[in-house]
Structures are given as structure tokens and as C-alpha cells.
């Protein structure tokens, strides 16, 4: 069962109404229990059982059963009185824009007071509304009750199973459409990827700059030493350069100078390239790479079957192979991405909780 937060109850400044809520909640529960019991008692077999096994109870309850509607009217009178009091308070406090809104908004309270079997169980909605109101104001916390946790767990499990099946069906249908030759690949290329090439270029530019600055700059000296050692080793093993030692007097000096010069030039070139990649100057280079990898639709159309760079000249068959290969690669990539999403959807989180 839930516990009552007395501090929130005191700070709410609605102590009287919450006390009324608790009283009405108790009366509603008692009334619903009596309604359920009397409905079960209506069966002749149940009455015969009580008559044989519990004759004292049978003699006491039989008059109540025959006149149950009169006893129920006692509860109904209390519920209607409380309903009218709350309606009058809502009108006085201006809770709603019009005075007649209250009975329409709380229709279940009003209809539940009708003493017929079909309307009586609307009082369950009144119980739920009172509990929700108390929970909303922090007077009680229904989320900590075992009943709420039980219902919430199986509700989440049911909704997860239901939504997973719907998502899997949608993804299977999407895969089928892609394999069948749906224009979705063309739409992804021309409607999603191409219009966002600038965003992709900016993102790649930032990533390359971060990679160059974080990976190269801290290891610049170690990389320079490594390159110089590799270059010196390659020069020593080169037979043409080794012949420089045969030069009289200056042979070894020329060879050593050449090793230093080549190593220094190579290291400086690599250092300049990495510094450029680590700065904002890499944007034009990345843009050129993206342009080659994902040409604009006009450029792609120029390389499509039947069109060449020169107007009026039909292209040969092999000219369309790269374009077809690009589509096949993109199609395969999309199918694999959908497979990964399907595997994630099939993962049942509620089973882990269980």
C-alpha cells in the first residue's frame, strides 16, 4: 500500500478537500465491494451455499439483498452531496470558464451515481480520479505500490511486443521495396545525401582537423625521428646513392648531406600537410574529396547511360558501370543498416527486467 506524505499534505493548503477525498475513497471502496459481493450473491447456487453453510449470515444478508438498491441509495446520496459541494466550490473559485463545465468534465462522477448495474461500475473511474489527484499533489505515491509496478511492468512488456512487431513489419516491407527496385535509393541519394553535402563536408573537415591535431601534433617529434631513420636506411640501401662514397674526398660528406636534406624535406612536407589538415584550411580539400565521392546530381546525370561529356554522342556500355556499382553499394549499405535496426528491435528489454 501507499504511504501518506504528511508534509505535502500540510503544504498543499487543501487539507479539507484531501480529507474529503480520503473519506470518499473509503466509501467508494466499501460501496464497490458491496456491489461486487451482491452481484455474486445474486446467483441461486451462491444463496443455497450460504443457506446451508452459513444460515446466520444468510438470514441477516437476505433482506439486504432484496432491498440492496435502498442501501445503495445511501451511498448515492453521499456521493451526490459531495458532487454538488465540489461543483459549487468550482463555480465560486472560478476553476472553469463556465459554471456548467463541471458536470461535463466530471461526467463519470455524475453517471456513476445512477443506481443501475450498468452505471454503478463507473464509480471505479471516480476511485481512479481521486487516487490520481492525490498522487499529482504528492500526497501519495502510487508508483511505489506493488500493484502499480505489476501493472506497469506487464503494460510495458505488452506495448514493447506490440510496437516491435509493427516496427519489424515496417522494416521488412522497406527492405522488400528496396530489393524490388523501389526509387527509395534514388530518393536517398538526391533528396537526402546530395542536399546535405555541405554539412557532411563541414563535419568531415572538423573530424580530420581533430584527428590531425590530437593524433599528429603530440607525436610530431617521434614521427620525425622515425621518418628520418627510415629515409636514411632507404638511402643507404640504394645502390646509386651508395656509389657517392666512391667520390674522392667529398663522397661521404655529399652522401650525409643528401640524407639530411631528403629527411628534412620529407619531414617538413609531412609536417606542413598535417598542420594544414589540423587547421580550417582543410575545408577545400575535404570538399574536393566529397565532390569526387558524391558528385552533384547534374554531374552524376552527365555520366548516366546514354550521355557523355559531348552532346549528341551516346556513351558505350561500360560507362554506366560505376554509377550502377554506386547504387548497389548504397542499396547494400541501406539493407545492412536496416538489419542492424531490426536486431536492436528484436532485443527484449522487458525480459532483462524480468
Which pLDDT tens digit goes with each residue over 243-272? 655 556 555 666 667 667 777 777 777 777
Angle between helices 251-277 and 220-237 (to 10 degrees): 140
Asked whether residue 74 falls in the same domain as residue 162, the answer is no
Instruction: Examine residue 16 and state whether it is found in any structural domain, yes or no.
Output: yes
Would you say residue 37 has pLDDT above 90?
A: yes
Same domain, 74 and 211: no
Among 145-149, 182-186, 322-326, the range scoring the smallest mean pLDDT is 322-326
Instruction: Say if residue 26's pLDDT is above 70.
Output: yes
132 and 253 fall within a common domain: no
pLDDT in tens, 184-195: 666 766 777 777
| Separation CA 296–CA 287 (nearest Å) | 12
Residue 320 domain boundaries: 150-182+310-354
Whether 134 and 157 map to the same domain: the answer is no
Residue 136 and residue 132: Cα distance in Å, rounded? 6
The residues that bridge with 4 in the sheet, in sequence order, are: 140
Do 174 and 322 lie in a common domain?
A: yes
In terms of domains, do 84 and 170 share one? no
Flag whether 347 is in a domain: yes
| 140 and 54 share one domain | yes
**Could you tell me if 167 and 314 lie in one domain?**
yes
Same domain, 11 and 98: yes
Is the confidence at residue 321, as pLDDT, over 70?
A: no
* 188 part of a folded domain: no
The answer as to whether 187 is a domain residue is no
Phi, psi of 305 (to 5 degrees): -60, 135
Question: 23 and 131: one domain?
Answer: yes
The model's pTM is 0.49
**Which residues, 6 or more positions from 96, have their beta carbon under 8 angstroms from its beta carbon?**
90, 102, 105
Domain boundary among 302, 318, 344: 302
The total number of structural domains that make up the chain: 3
Dihedral angle, C-alpha 53, 56, 59, 64, nearest 10 °: -100
Q: Flag whether 1 is in a domain.
A: no
Q: Please indicate, yes or no, whether residues 14 and 135 belong to a single structural domain of this protein.
A: yes
One domain, residues 28 and 119: yes
Amino acid at each position: 500500500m501507499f504511504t501518506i506524505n504528511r508534509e505535502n499534505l500540510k503544504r498543499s493548503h487543501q487539507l479539507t478537500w484531501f480529507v474529503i477525498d480520503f473519506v470518499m475513497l473509503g466509501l467508494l471502496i466499501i460501496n464497490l465491494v458491496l456491489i461486487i459481493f451482491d452481484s455474486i450473491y445474486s446467483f441461486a447456487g451462491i444463496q443455497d451455499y450460504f443457506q446451508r453453510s452459513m444460515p446466520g449470515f444468510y438470514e441477516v444478508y437476505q433482506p439486504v439483498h432484496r432491498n440492496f438498491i435502498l442501501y445503495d441509495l445511501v451511498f448515492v446520496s453521499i456521493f451526490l452531496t459531495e458532487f454538488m459541494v465540489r461543483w459549487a466550490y468550482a463555480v465560486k473559485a472560478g476553476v472553469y470558464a463556465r459554471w456548467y463545465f463541471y458536470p461535463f468534465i466530471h461526467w463519470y462522477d455524475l453517471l456513476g451515481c445512477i443506481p443501475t448495474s450498468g452505471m454503478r461500475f463507473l464509480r471505479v473511474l471516480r476511485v481512479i480520479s481521486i487516487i490520481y489527484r492525490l498522487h499529482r499533489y504528492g500526497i501519495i505515491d502510487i508508483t511505489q505500490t506493488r500493484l502499480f509496478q505489476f501493472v506497469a511492468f506487464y503494460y510495458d512488456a505488452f506495448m514493447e511486443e506490440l510496437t516491435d512487431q509493427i516496427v519489424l513489419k515496417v522494416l521488412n516491407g522497406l527492405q522488400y521495396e528496396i530489393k524490388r527496385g523501389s526509387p527509395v535509393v534514388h530518393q536517398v541519394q538526391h533528396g537526402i545525401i546530395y542536399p546535405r553535402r555541405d554539412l557532411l563536408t563541414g563535419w568531415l573537415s572538423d573530424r580530420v582537423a581533430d584527428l590531425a591535431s590530437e593524433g599528429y601534433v603530440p607525436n610530431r617529434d617521434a614521427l620525425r625521428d622515425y621518418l628520418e631513420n627510415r629515409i636514411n636506411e632507404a638511402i643507404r640501401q640504394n645502390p646509386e646513392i651508395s656509389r657517392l662514397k666512391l667520390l674522392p674526398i667529398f663522397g661521404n660528406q655529399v652522401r650525409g648531406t643528401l640524407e639530411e636534406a631528403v629527411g628534412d624535406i620529407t619531414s617538413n612536407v609531412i609536417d606542413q600537410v598535417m598542420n594544414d589538415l589540423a587547421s580550417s584550411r582543410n575545408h577545400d580539400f575535404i570538399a574536393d574529396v566529397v565532390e569526387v565521392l558524391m558528385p552533384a546530381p547534374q554531374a552524376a546525370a552527365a555520366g548516366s547511360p546514354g550521355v557523355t561529356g559531348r552532346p549528341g554522342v551516346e556513351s558505350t556500355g561500360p560507362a554506366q558501370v560505376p554509377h550502377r556499382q554506386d547504387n548497389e553499394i548504397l542499396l547494400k549499405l541501406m539493407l545492412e543498416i536496416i538489419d542492424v535496426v531490426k536486431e536492436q528491435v528484436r532485443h527484449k528489454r522487458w525480459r532483462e527486467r524480468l
